[in-house]
Structure 1
Amino acid sequence: MTMIQPATSGPPCIPPLSSYGTLTGQLFLYDGGKVAFESPITESTRERSTAVTPHNKCILVGGLSDGLLPCPYTGLLEQACASLEGGWSLIQPVLSSSYTGFGHGSLTRDCAEMESLLDYCIAHRNASTFCLVGHSTGCQNIVYFLKHARRDLQDRIRVAALQAPVSDREGVPHLDLQARNIDLALSMQSRGQAEEMMPRDAFWAPITAQRYLDLNARGGTDDFFSSDYTDEELRSRLAHVGSNRHGARLKVLVAYSGKDEYIPADLDTEELTTRLVDAMNDACREDEMQVAIPLHLPLGNHNLSQGPNDAHTFVDAVARLLADCEIN
């Protein structure tokens, strides 16, 4: 017989303070019930009217399983936006694919919801110009948006920043299990079950066969940044970023970390950063200013939480591009 020991008395365990900080702003609904959070909101703009909120909006899109406060540098980015003379605010949307919703979604659905967010901000939150900042899989959302979104909305994007544009399929630790699951997903797809859920042990979150293929199959819809692509394959996936732009109005920052936890250990991250940037700039004429610029962070990890200066370096680079686009 097992004796149950009484609970020991003592002070309650105090949870650690969140390192992500605290933001104050306005929570709003768009597109029939989806939520987004805009900050900062100054004392003069706290009324119900949003007519005086900044014209310039920086939209932060996180990666798989992220939602509000997706990265440790969220607060830094908000402060940088607020400090700019032209006035920028930070918007964090909760998409249907946020948190664990990504497993039954797609970049197509994300793009449509981002279009709805921009439309709402233009109509009701005084927006005219946008910056898109993506972390991890959020980078795929931005690259997809710059090809498939409505052109009138694309033309309002002045800056895009891709932080940790890594390959999901190259970050899988057990390639044999990945191959098995790809075979299963392909089999389900062939039987018309692409939108059905994979078995529990296939992935760390609930996921459909189609979404699994999008993320893990070579050439999948989400597979933009893989290091095993040839230069031509990278160009076929990324050249649209620098093409069909109006002069030098769009600037794209490609920020890659040398110590990212979700990349192969032997990957030359500086070389890959250059290859990604070159692929995006492929359609730019030599006499034009290049659209994409690199930012290699040799000691940075995936979400820039480890190095003492990596988050500041990234946010400062974004802020400089925002300041430049206000001048130009």
Structure 2
Amino acid sequence: MALPGTAHKYTKGLIAFEHASTHPSSSYNTVLWIGGLTDGLLTVPYPSLIAASLPPTWSLAEVLLTSSYSGWGTGSLARDATELGECVAYFKKLRPGKKIVLMGHSTGCQDIMEYLLGKGAEGRHKVDGVILQGGVSDREAWEDYYKEGERRKQLEDAIRSSKELVDAGKGEEVLSPESNPVFKDMGGPLNAYRAYSLLAKGGDDDYFSSDFSDGHFATTFGTIPKSTPVCFLLGSDDPYVPASIDRAALLKRWTRIIREGGGVVDDVDGGVILGAHHNLDGDPEEVVQDLVRRVCGFVARLDRDRAQLAKQMRLI
């Protein structure tokens, strides 16, 4: 299927593909969509549907990173955030004065958290909102998959051996998939740093685990800039969230912590999407359209003034 659009070369070797819009405008507000592990351009179906449904003043571009496709296993959130910063800077220059929203799917959500909070964040452009769709804990997903007996020992060995390499200054060393079934299941190429980052508690990728304390979340979610409204979207049937986790309660907890830090959360459009899986591929049309409606509702609210936005998001 051919999809019309524009390829923007935002930095050397990397592009953002902007879906063609039915609305004639050269000065759109822009949603920059960031995929998860193994994702690349057009690998997730719903962004094109969002692009076709956005308000007339908005467009959507999918961001290609060095970590896209098979590059994730030797990458890092820090590198992703740097490249995302280059993409934001490109669109800021292309469309001065216009809004930019970051929408992450899966590890794209971790990329956004790193963009907002990680090293060098103070030097990056501010964005006008973020949408975190399918922001799940890789650590908890792997713990759930390897939760008992010999399999749990394999997971513990994978964490231990990758940490030993990182501690020895060999974090860039590519792991043999034959050395541990966990590494084989994760796919590759995979280096020790990224394996540890994804599997270990407190690893660099570990933003969304439910077992962190409120005090810990206060240092992450609680420090999201007050000028950056947040919209959480999580599928009720997301297979990467362990069944023991109450999805709605987790989103409410993050929402409370953001608001306690003075931030803004849209829980009118945000929330648990009934019947939705991780990237909604193959989900019923009504489920996908629920996601599309929520995203369009969030960006439409951003077109209103901040006082009205805060009131509608139940802060006043």
Instruction: Give the corresponding residue for 2:233.
Output: 255
1:93 aligns with 2:63: yes
User: For 1:161-200, what aligned pairs fall within 5 Å after superposition?
Assistant: 161-172=131-142, 173-175=145-147, 176=152, 177-200=154-177
- Computing the radius of gyration from Cα coordinates, the structure with the larger value is 1
Offset from partner CA, 1:117-155 (integer Å, 9 cap, x none): 111222245573201111111111111111235547543
Instruction: Give the corresponding residue for 2:274.
Output: 298
Q: For residue 99 of structure 2, what is the amino acid of its counterpart? A: T
Offset from partner CA, 1:242-277 (integer Å, 9 cap, x none): xx424xxx3211111121111212221121121222
Measure the CA separation in 2 of the matches of 1:42 and 1:315.
Answer: 17
Identity, in percent, stands at 30
Instruction: Give the corresponding residue for 2:226.
Output: 245
Contact 1:225 1:276 (8 Å CA) reproduced: no
Tell me which of 230, 237, 259 is aligned to 1:281: 259
Secondary structure of the 1:37 match is: strand
User: What's the CA shift for 1:317?
Assistant: 1.4
User: For 1:45-56, what aligned pairs fall within 5 Å after superposition?
Assistant: 53-56=26-29
Normalised by the length of structure 2, the TM-score is 0.84
1:79 aligns with 2:55: no
Distance 1:164 1:191, change over 3 A: same
Q: For residue 274 of structure 2, what is the amino acid of its counterpart? A: P
Instruction: Give the corresponding residue for 1:265.
Output: 243
User: What's the CA shift for 1:308?
Assistant: 3.6
Distance 1:127 1:42, change over 3 A: farther
Offset from partner CA, 1:149-171 (integer Å, 9 cap, x none): 5547543x222111111100111
1:319 aligns with 2:299: no
Contact 1:182 1:217 (8 Å CA) reproduced: yes
Contact 1:158 1:251 (8 Å CA) reproduced: yes
Normalised by the length of structure 1, the TM-score is 0.81
Tell me which of 140, 143, 147 is aligned to 2:110: 140
User: For 1:222-237, what aligned pairs fall within 5 Å after superposition?
Assistant: 222-237=205-220
**How many residue pairs are counted as aligned between the two chains?**
288
Measure the CA separation in 1 of the matches of 2:124 and 2:251.
Answer: 27
Distance 1:278 1:116, change over 3 A: same
Q: For residue 64 of structure 1, what is the amino acid of its counterpart? A: L
Measure the CA separation in 2 of the matches of 1:180 and 1:96.
Answer: 29
Contact 1:61 1:138 (8 Å CA) reproduced: yes
User: What's the CA shift for 1:73?
Assistant: 1.1
Contact 2:8 2:15 (8 Å CA) reproduced: yes
Measure the CA separation in 2 of the matches of 1:92 and 1:108.
Answer: 19
Offset from partner CA, 1:260-303 (integer Å, 9 cap, x none): 1112122211211212222222202xxxx833534112322111
Instruction: Give the corresponding residue for 1:107.
Output: 77
Secondary structure of the 2:231 match is: strand
1:30 aligns with 2:6: no
Stretches of structure 2 lacking an aligned partner (at least 5 in a row): 306-316
Contact 1:163 1:254 (8 Å CA) reproduced: yes
Q: For residue 236 of structure 1, what is the amino acid of its counterpart? A: T
Measure the CA separation in 2 of the matches of 1:154 and 1:275.
Answer: 28
Contact 2:33 2:61 (8 Å CA) reproduced: yes
Deviates more, 1:301-310 or 1:190-199: 301-310
Distance 1:130 1:168, change over 3 A: same
Distance 1:300 1:63, change over 3 A: same
Deviates more, 1:229-238 or 1:289-298: 289-298
Q: RMSD of aligned C-alpha atoms?
A: 2.1
Q: For residue 204 of structure 2, what is the amino acid of its counterpart? A: T
Deviates more, 1:30-39 or 1:144-153: 144-153
Contact 2:162 2:196 (8 Å CA) reproduced: yes
Contact 2:88 2:125 (8 Å CA) reproduced: no
Q: For residue 263 of structure 1, what is the amino acid of its counterpart? A: V
Distance 1:314 1:182, change over 3 A: same
